[in-house]
């Protein structure tokens, strides 16, 4: 085939034919069955199947084939940067003739357009100045382009957010026919069925924490890619619309308002930055768009915001955990506090400070810093003068290097315990030395680990590494898990956009890639209550301790002391599920005062969970007066309705059978306010006031038992 054919009038005819085809209906060819995973094509005798491909692998093959000389894409080495989230590839053949075809699905039409190198191409037949979009003689435009090297035709075709790339040693006419029809045949963006579900992703995609935004994006895209293959998704298609908050609350609001107004969003994932998340609360609330944030600042979800959910642990829990872990597990003393002067740092450190004070530990010193500071000499001098041996840091990883250099140079010799803002394997490259011994609250230790210890992480790790060619970081795992949780919530309400909140609030024990769970309900939108601790050591991250929840650290608080009617004793914190088990199964009340539950929280023993029965806290203890004793359990719930709901007011004497003999049971004394029963020489009773219930049982006179109940109910924590 002579290159002279390129100059023939047929080229001009073909050019206008492209513009005139409009709907691009097939004439002379048959349309094959099309699915998001594979598409069978039959076009003018050329037949083949396009299969789903890994994006990175597809880009490598496109580059090796040399589709477009120079390439039609700006920089094939940076293909991930264009937001390509899906790819089909394959070969169409007719006899010995064949055409390679690749279909790239972008996150938006703008990203597809930005990937095309419209200003770097030169005419395929003679040297000329670089082409521009504005050049009316430019045959290569935003919708298609052609190139002929004397043997092979190469071309691209774009429709909205789908870009098709082709190459083949075939006739000009055949190449045109295939090029005309390849997008309508397997158009990933306009396939038959419901409109795509559009989910906004708001994160930081610029500045020092850009890599965090990239991890977040790729984790979410992996979830959407896998969801397309799930039967329960019912063939729905998904689009991820990204926006950069630039770690600026005003910019976050602008971007959220833009997405809500223009993109017909179903939900928003992100942001991570607490200040940005706080700024978006009124925006999403007014628009009625559910938002699952990865920010940890407690006020984002408290008080309850109907449209705002948190897909990780709140600082209200995490700060207490860090204090407990430092004091009890690490045996730390002489503790100093250093926090970032942001809503995130302030809220987290205040929780740490209050938790330490509750157990009688006063911080040696407390200092703040502005993110980006290069001199921490004043803070280190204060810590050194105070004699600090442990420093709890509440901030993001962007200041980790400067802080650690200051700690080492100060000669303090203090151990650093950091918040989850430092939980990232990226920190290993950001801080070239000086990380050894740093303990961090988070999952930074996760990598290619033992499947028996982390069975949920390993499949995610392999899938992420296979798709993107690098290891996933913690934020990628959070984004993946929460995107899957969101999609499950949508499926739970039959993809009714108006009921997504209801679907999320019905989430119970949704397993994340961290082997921990997300649980929401209509009174609490904080999803996770467990975390691991990691230690940086010799250029790697090790697991320090696993499965820590707020009460799992066994930190003993100073509980209330009760003195009444000659009885005296101290109450101590008790895991709420353990308290429930104790009351139900240790004979408090015949018949039982509390409803049975199908989930007693058994998880290798008692699984500590402050959401058990909707409890806020629980205390227990024994009060003594000589040989007489009364065992007490005090529970506080989130609402009076929750407290009443746990009482088993319908139980009757007949329900007991032969289990016990009730010697004395005043009728009508069991109600929503109080209850008394007597069996086997022991009085049992409960008393409720508002959201608080006290249970008591003992070898004591009835009047003494009532006095203990009343005194315990009045006692403050």
Measured in whole angstroms, the distance separating CA 505 from the mean position of its chain's CA atoms is: 16
- Provide the H-helix boundaries in 550-667: 576-585, 640-645
Residue 116 has pLDDT above 60, yes or no: yes
In angstroms, how far apart are the furthest CA atoms of the chain?
111
Q: Comparing 24-33, 420-429, 460-469, 626-635, which segment has the lowest mean pLDDT?
A: 24-33
Q: Which residues on adjacent β-strands are paired with residue 102?
A: 89, 165
pLDDT tens across 207-261, in order?
889 999 999 999 999 999 999 888 888 778 898 999 999 999 999 999 999 999 8
| β-pair type (365-369, 439-441) | unpaired
Domain 197-314+454-532: which topology?
A: Rossmann fold (3.40.50)
- The pair of structure tokens assigned to 233 is 């998704």
Nearest residue to 586 via CA among 492, 497, 665, 680: 680
CATH classification for the domain delimited by 318-441, as one of 3.40.50.2300, 3.40.50.2000, 3.90.1150.10, 3.40.50.970: 3.40.50.2300
Per-residue model confidence as pLDDT tens digits over 377-433 = 999 999 999 999 999 999 999 999 999 999 999 999 899 999 999 999 999 888 867
Per-residue pLDDT tens digits for 31-50: 333 334 566 777 777 888 88
User: In degrees rounded to 5, what are phi and psi of residue 457?
Assistant: -75, -40
Averaged pLDDT, 368-381: 95
**Arithmetic mean of pLDDT over the chain:** 80
- CATH code at 561-714: 3.40.1000
Report which of residues 46 and 194 the model is more confident about: 46
Same fold, 197-314+454-532 and 318-441: yes
441: nearest Cα among 272, 318, 271, 298: 318
Q: What percent of the chain is modeled with pLDDT above 70? A: 79
Is the pLDDT at 696 greater than 70? The verdict is: yes
Instruction: Give strand ranges (E) for 571-705.
Output: 572-573, 615-625, 628-637, 662-664, 674-679, 682-689, 692-699
Instruction: Provide the residue ranges of all domains of the chain, joining segments of one domain with +.
Output: 3-185, 197-314+454-532, 318-441, 561-714
* Strand locations in 435-560 (E): 439-441, 510-511, 517-518, 531-537, 540-548
Banded model confidence at residue 347, pLDDT cuts 50, 70, 90: very high
For residue 586, report the phi and psi dihedrals to the nearest 5 degrees.
-105, 20
Q: What is the pLDDT of residues 471-489, one digit of tens each?
A: 999 999 999 999 999 999 9
pLDDT tens digit sequence for 298-334: 999 999 999 999 999 999 989 999 998 898 778 778 9
Inter-residue contact 531 to 442 (CB < 8 Å): yes
CA distances from 679 to 148, 247, 621, 660 (A): 95, 63, 21, 7
Dihedral pair phi/psi, residue 553, rounded to 5°: -80, -10
Average pLDDT estimate for 441-457: 82
Confidence class of residue 70 from pLDDT cuts 50, 70 and 90? low
pTM confidence score: 0.60
52-66, 184-198, 483-497, 690-704: least confident range: 184-198
């Amino acid at each position: 085939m002579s290159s002279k054919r390129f100059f023939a009038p047929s080229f001009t005819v073909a050019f206008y034919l492209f513009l005139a085809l409009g709907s691009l209906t097939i004439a002379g060819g048959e349309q094959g069955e099309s699915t998001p995973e594979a598409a069978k094509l039959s076009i003018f005798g050329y037949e083949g199947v396009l299969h789903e491909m890994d994006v990175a692998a597809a880009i490598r093959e496109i580059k090796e084939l040399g589709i477009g000389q120079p390439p039609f894409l700006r920089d094939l080495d940076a293909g991930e940067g264009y937001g390509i989230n899906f790819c089909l590839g394959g070969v169409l053949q007719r006899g010995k003739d064949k055409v390679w075809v690749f279909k790239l699905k972008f996150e938006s039409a703008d990203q597809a357009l930005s990937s095309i190198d419209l200003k770097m191409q030169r005419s395929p037949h003679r040297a000329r100045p670089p082409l521009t979009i504005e050049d009316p003689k430019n045959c290569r435009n935003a919708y298609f382009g052609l190139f002929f090297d004397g043997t092979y035709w190469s071309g691209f075709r774009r429709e909205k957010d789908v870009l098709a790339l082709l190459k083949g040693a075939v006739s000009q006419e055949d190449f045109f026919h295939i090029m005309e029809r390849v997008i309508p045949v397997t158009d990933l963006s306009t396939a038959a069925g419901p409109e795509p579900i559009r989910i906004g992703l708001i994160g930081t995609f610029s500045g020092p924490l850009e890599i965090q935004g990239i991890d977040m994006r790729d984790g979410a895209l992996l979830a959407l890619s896998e969801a397309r293959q799930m039967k329960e998704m019912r063939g729905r298609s998904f689009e991820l619309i990204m926006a950069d908050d630039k770690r600026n609350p005003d910019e976050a609001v602008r971007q959220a308002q833009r997405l809500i107004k223009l993109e017909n969003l179903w939900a928003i994932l992100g942001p991570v930055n607490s200040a940005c998340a706080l700024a978006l609360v009124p925006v999403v609330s007014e628009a009625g768009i559910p938002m699952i944030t990865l920010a940890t600042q407690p006020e984002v979800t408290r008080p309850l915001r109907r449209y705002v959910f948190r897909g990780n642990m709140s600082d209200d829990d995490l700060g207490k955990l860090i204090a407990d872990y430092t004091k009890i597990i690490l045996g730390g003393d002489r503790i100093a506090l250093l926090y970032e002067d942001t809503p995130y740092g302030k809220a987290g450190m205040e929780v740490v400070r209050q938790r330490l004070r509750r157990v009688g530990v006063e911080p040696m010193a407390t200092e703040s810093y502005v993110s980006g500071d290069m001199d921490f000499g004043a803070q280190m001098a204060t810590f050194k003068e105070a004699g600090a041996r442990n420093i709890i840091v509440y901030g993001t990883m962007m200041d980790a290097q400067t802080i650690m250099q200051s700690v080492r140079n100060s000669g303090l010799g203090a151990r650093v315990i950091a918040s989850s803002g430092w939980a990232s394997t990226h920190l290993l490259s950001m801080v070239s030395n000086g990380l050894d011994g740093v303990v961090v609250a988070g999952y930074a230790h996760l990598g290619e680990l033992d499947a028996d210890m982390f069975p949920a992480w390993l499949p995610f790790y392999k899938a992420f590494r296979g798709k993107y060619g690098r290891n996933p970081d913690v934020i990628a795992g959070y984004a993946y898990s929460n995107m899957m949780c969101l999609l499950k919530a949508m499926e739970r309400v039959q993809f009714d956009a108006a009921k997504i909140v209801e679907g999320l609030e019905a989430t119970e024990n949704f397993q994340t890639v961290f082997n921990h769970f997300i649980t929401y309900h209509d009174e609490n939108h904080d999803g996770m209550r467990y975390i691991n601790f990691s230690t940086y050591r010799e250029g790697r991250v090790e697991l320090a301790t696993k499965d820590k929840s707020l009460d799992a650290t066994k930190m003993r608080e100073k509980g209330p002391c009760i003195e009444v009617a000659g009885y005296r004793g101290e109450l101590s914190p008790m895991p709420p599920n353990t308290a429930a088990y104790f009351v139900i199964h240790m004979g408090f009340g015949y018949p039982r005062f509390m409803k049975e539950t199908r989930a007693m929280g058994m998880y290798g023993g008692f699984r500590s969970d402050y959401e058990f029965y909707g409890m806020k806290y629980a205390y227990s203890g024994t009060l003594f007066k000589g040989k007489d004793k009364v065992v007490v359990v005090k529970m506080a719930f989130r609402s009076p309705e929750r407290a009443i709901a746990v009482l088993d007011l319908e139980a009757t004497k007949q329900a007991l059978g032969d289990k016990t003999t009730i010697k004395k049971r005043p009728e009508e004394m069991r109600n929503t306010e109080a209850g008394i029963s007597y069996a086997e020489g022991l009085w049992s009773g409960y008393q409720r006031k508002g959201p608080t219930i006290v249970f008591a049982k003992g070898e004591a006179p009835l009047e003494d038992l009532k006095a203990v109940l009343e005194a315990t109910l009045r006692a403050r924590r």
